[in-house]
Amino acid sequence: MKFTDGQWMHQPDITANYPAEAYDIEPTKDGLIVYAPTSAIKHRGDTLKGPLLTVTLSSPMEGVLRVRVEHYRGLNQKVPTIPLMTRGNAPVAIARDERCATITSGNLTARVKAKDGWDLSFESEGRVITRVSGWKGMGYMQRSDGSNYMHTSLSLGVGENVYGLGERFTSFVKNGQVVEIANKDGGTACEQAYKNIPFYLTNKGYGVLVNETGHVSFEVASENVSRVQFSIPGESIEYFVIAGPTPKDVLRRLTALTGRPALPPEWSFGLWLSTSFTTSYDEKTCNSFIDGMRDRDLPLSVFHFDCFWMREFDWCSFEWDPRVFPDPRGTLKRFHERGLKISVWINSYIAQRSPLFAEGAAKGYFIKRTDGSVWQTDQWQPGMAIVDFTNPEACKWFAGHMKRLLDMGVDAIKTDFGERIPTEGVVYHDGSDPAKMHNFYTILYNECVFNAIREVRGEGEAVLFARSAYASGQRFPIHWGGDCWSTFESMAESLRGGLSLSLSGFGFWSHDIGGFEGSSPASIYKRWTAFGLMSSHSRLHGSSTYRIPWAYDDEACDVLRFFTKLKCSLMPYLWATAQEAHTQGIPCMRAMLLEFPDDATCETLDRQYMLGGSLLVSPVFSEDGTVRYFLPKGRWTNLLTNEVREGGWYTEKHGFLSMPLYVRENTLLAVGANNTRPDYDYVAGTTFRVYQLAEGASASCQMHDSKGNPAARVTATRKGGKVSFAIEGTLKNATVEIVGGASAKLPDGAKSFEIKA
């Protein structure tokens, strides 16, 4: 929100109250309390008026500082809060002299100037990374209509770029944008977002999380081009400054604070095929798709039933439409016998015609109006109500229906919607503020479903396909990109959204291959297929048409087969990448700046990415196959052709069975022996490929079992014209290969091995 009118003036309805000085600073055992009057105190009479802002500095964990700015403290308001994985305060070092006071947590220090104006700076690695200083840096804003706002403006340095803020489809670098943190169902072609996260990081080595579930308004180098301002309505604001120094360090700390992604099961990394949205289907139709995939040698892991597995107007009843699925338990059993996992679509809206509506209304399971009646709308489903997940009994009721589906044979649940949650004239069971529940609702919704799956299927088997999210929602993977169009432009905006989400703490992400709305030409479908299979998760899904490849042309089948099998063979590597997301919060799909923070060229790249730490992917976004991409400094090897290239810019044309896929130098890549499914024994028949290993350098490859536990580790070292291998754990029928050179079978049980470089 803009409070100013240019550099000098304010909006006509704004009264601004900015801190004039740190009048009093009180060290405590946990931090600092700073009392900041909004006018200079020249004599005792000046202390008889306000506002007086109270700024509390503390640390929830090492390398993170909490800043809370308050005007009135006496509000009694039930609000949801972002779940934090830490409790209490972390140890800090406090120092004070006549000039300033400091609080230090790990490698992050906040410094408050004690006199001569207002200045709060944050320092890390011996330098100031950002500051709240001077006039307009922080304030309590009063509007003529009686509403109040708190805001903070953090400085940006020369050349400093801002990233993140959730799954945003606008420009990848957020400088110059106004970002409203309010979940909306707007599609991928606008500034609205399904997954709003009040967090940003910059290329200067830090991140900022606003600890707020309600509407947050960001002015990102827009109202003031050298600051990021964030504001919320009310009497207080709290945020965390998170130290790096690298973007990975920031994400590690962010996800340690708000939660790391659960580890999805191995089978979820295979190809998902959907019935699509408004298409007509029954068991015979579904079988024709599955048979078609089998007959064309197209590996398929998950079959997804979208909305119309339930009867029209009944969404959600969680009952199979008996007209087309008279024997749902038998149907799912037959699909399981074909080696498939099953996913079904749901949302948290209960239509008036649903047989569950009367029960939910009678028992108080829905969001209510202020008069106690059920809040209803005709948008989406006629007369629908919305489940109130602040009611523990409603959660049990909803989870019970999920468990019933799981008992029938469902393996994964697509939790659609959760964005259009009312904010006015409604009441929650626990009294939560509706305005602050709007964004947070999706957390309760997805958590309820995720926990139900985990309770039935066990740890490591729970997986969603979720559209909406908020801060901490990364704990319940997987998330997909929402409603995109079937165009190259929408394919590119989807990638921008995914990369922004990955820089907001989310480890696993997918999108609708071929686009959701409309029917793409074969060229777009085939290019999107390559991109989709080189993503962490891969789903064929559309709106009004099936996304089966033979509906496009024969070559589409060849493309889908090639890239699906390639992904399956890369599963030992991708599974190790998934462990990084699960244990460290480092996403599977990584913006180039995450892996190469010191390469200025990588700071703006949004049409290519790293899949894990070693594989560069550059999707093709053109009709004729032309693609321009950048290889950072070093020697890169084409995964498909073994051609070696030096770092730099390249422009070239690719056929549909190709795209720029490059392996980073000094990489030991584990390639699996199975290219028909994602879940298999990764230490049996594995080929360990050595890519451009420099003299004296080493490269390691960690293998994991199906539960994510370390199973084996292989380290390759090049010295004196030879590459030696050290093996921890047991490998079976493995091969070692110097790409472009020698290869050899590795004796079973060997702990060391050596071949010519």
> Which residues lie below 8 Å from residue 458, measured CB to CB, with a gap of 6+?
none
SS3 494: helix
Q: How many residues in total does the chain contain?
A: 757
Asked if the bond preceding 478 is cis, omega within 30° of 0, the reply is yes
| Secondary structure (H, E, C), 221-253 | CCCCCCEEEEEEECCEEEEEEEECCCHHHHHHH
User: Rounded to an integer, what distance in angstroms lies between the CA atom of residue 735 and that of residue 732?
Assistant: 9
Assigned token pair, 131: 């500051």
Active site residue 70: no
* Active-site residue (options: 212, 235, 238, 483): 483
Active site residue 483: yes
* Active-site residue (options: 123, 416, 447, 512): 416
> Which residues lie below 8 Å from residue 84, measured CB to CB, with a gap of 6+?
60, 257, 258
Burial class (CB in 10 A: 0-12, 13-18, 19+), 566: middle
Asked if the bond preceding 588 is cis, omega within 30° of 0, the reply is no
Residues 663, 710: contact at Cβ < 8 Å?
no
User: Rounded to an integer, what distance in angstroms lies between the CA atom of residue 704 and that of residue 579?
Assistant: 8
Q: What are phi and psi of 581, to 5 degrees?
A: -65, -40
* Active-site residue (options: 419, 595, 665, 737): 419
Cα 358 to chain centroid, rounded: 36
User: Rounded to an integer, what distance in angstroms lies between the CA atom of residue 536 and that of residue 542?
Assistant: 19
Active site residue 407: no
User: Rounded to an integer, what distance in angstroms lies between the CA atom of residue 144 and that of residue 140?
Assistant: 13
Residues 546, 285: contact at Cβ < 8 Å?
no
**Crossing angle for the helix pair 488-502 and 522-533, nearest 10 degrees?**
20
Rounded to the nearest 10°, the torsion over CA 634, 638, 641, 644 is -10
User: Rounded to an integer, what distance in angstroms lies between the CA atom of residue 514 and that of residue 103?
Assistant: 51
User: Rounded to an integer, what distance in angstroms lies between the CA atom of residue 22 and that of residue 184?
Assistant: 40
SS3 499: helix
Q: Which helix (H) or strand (E) holds 54?
A: strand 52-61
**Closest Cα partner for 702 from 682, 724, 675?**
682
SS3 392: helix
Q: What single DSSP character describes residue 673?
A: S
User: Rounded to an integer, what distance in angstroms lies between the CA atom of residue 704 and that of residue 265?
Assistant: 12
**Closest Cα partner for 611 from 679, 666, 662, 654?**
662
CA angle 534, 536, 542 (to 5 degrees): 80
User: Rounded to an integer, what distance in angstroms lies between the CA atom of residue 660 and that of residue 639?
Assistant: 8
The set of catalytic residues is 416, 419, 483
